[in-house]
Amino acid sequence: MGEVVDMKGDWNRRALERPQKYIAGFHDASEEEFRESGRRDVSIFFGGIEELLAADRDVVDIGCGIGRMDEFVAPRVRSLTGVDVSGEMVARARARLAHLANARFVEGDGTSLPLPDASADLVFSHVVFQHVPRRYVPCYFAEAYRVLRLGGDFVFQLPEADQRTPSDAPDQDTYDMRFWDMAEAEAQLRELGFELRSRASAEVGLPGERFVSVRLHGVKTSPR
């Protein structure tokens, strides 16, 4: 895998500094503004596929942070497991969402999910893979496949590359965005055994930057 990247140390430092600053860019947001952003993003991210959040489903969130979206996903599903490379983020998520009896948060290693095979009905990830060095992202795709039950759903988001997007940041940079060719991402999913069900695009505007964010939805239709 080449030189080791200290994602864990980087995100622990960010969590200790101010986690909201590094989660979806909320530098000076109040707690209520931060919570409202989680509510809004759950609505947008699962727009058109709301049926995936059902009371009989076990759900996994890759890159859960301090549970910004999980606060609004957990009440709609049977169980929610948030996974984050940062133990500091996990500790804060546990404290923030201790009132949610069906939610738990566990620390990962940055490439795998500390969960049993075929234990989830839905794996999702939002504004996470764009910060992960590119060579590690396929590990998460494979891990999502492993932990999903047959018929389970994998839903995640990536920023789309075009002629204007910059080259990848060095692997040691665990924050700057990486932009993806969607044909490449879809090919990786199909190679693992996912059937692509939908692709939804939305334009995103950030200070000094505009790009297209793409939500991909794959289904595990056969065991490996």
* Per-residue model confidence as pLDDT tens digits over 24-65: 666 677 888 899 999 999 999 999 999 999 999 999 999 999
Whether 117 maps to a domain, the answer reads yes
Band of pLDDT at residue 22, cut at 50, 70 and 90:
confident
Whether 178 maps to a domain, the answer reads yes
What sign does the dihedral 195-1-158-50 (CA atoms) show?
A: positive
Whether 171 maps to a domain, the answer reads yes
Whether 1 maps to a domain, the answer reads no
The boundaries of the domain holding residue 93 are: 7-220
Q: What angle do CA 133, 138, 143 make, to 5 degrees?
A: 120
Whether 2 maps to a domain, the answer reads no
Number of compact structural domains in the chain: 1
Q: Which pTM does this prediction carry?
A: 0.95
* Per-residue model confidence as pLDDT tens digits over 106-127: 999 999 999 999 999 999 999 9
* Per-residue model confidence as pLDDT tens digits over 133-151: 999 999 999 999 999 999 9
